Amino acid sequence: MVTIGFLELNSIARGIAAADQMLKAAEVRLLLSRPVCPGKYNIMVTGEVAAVQSSLDAGERIGGDKVVDRLVIPRVHPQVVEAINLSAVPVGPGAVGVLEYFSVTASIQGADAAVKAADVTLLEVRLGVGIGGKSFVVLTGEVAAVEEGVAHGAAATEAAGMLVDKVVIPRPHPDLFETLIG
């Protein structure tokens, strides 16, 4: 398992500057650096825990009051990064769970909690692109596992009040399932 660091800003210009400083400040690898709706900027890096922490600290200094949120997950489940990059492939159709959040950072926390708690496959972690700055997680597996994963994904962000909604669909229509994996 790897460590990821995530920084969310409400300024594209400041986000680009923060990403540059984060990469110069510590030995980390850039996983993503891009604008998202509604005019926010997301940066994700990976590396050793201390390097990721130093990188985020540098990004926060440059970001200043434009920083919306930050997150470090020292032992993030590998499926989280795969689902963000849309490279997860399920074994077959199963129950589907969806977790919807107000913040991008919350979806990463929720996805990590869900996949660590249950035998599920993350299909997607959508980080605010084209959905008004919200985010969502889609996972699949056996019904009981999906229910457990959704419960843990929801609980992971409960204190922050970032969960919009959650659903479990025990037997999704095959056409719907195909749209979720394609």
Looking at the DSSP assignment, which residues form a beta bridge with residue 97? Answer: 139, 168
Whether 182 has a pLDDT exceeding 70, the answer reads no
Whether 131 has a pLDDT exceeding 90, the answer reads no
Identify which of 51, 58, 107, 61 has the alpha carbon closest to the alpha carbon of residue 80: 107
Q: What is the pTM of this model?
A: 0.83
Check residue 88 and give its pLDDT. 62
* Cα–Cα distance, 43 to 57 (Å, whole number): 13
- Identify the structural domains of the chain with CATH numbers, from first to last: 2-76 (3.30.70.1710), 78-181 (3.30.70.1710)
* Cα–Cα distance, 85 to 88 (Å, whole number): 8
* Cα–Cα distance, 94 to 157 (Å, whole number): 25
Question: pLDDT of 78-119, one tens digit each?
Answer: 889 888 876 666 666 789 999 999 988 899 999 999 999 999
- What are the Cα distances from residue 127, in Å, to 7, 48, 51, 106, 147? 12, 23, 23, 10, 22
Check residue 90 and give its pLDDT. 66
| Residue recorded with tokens 């969960």 | 163
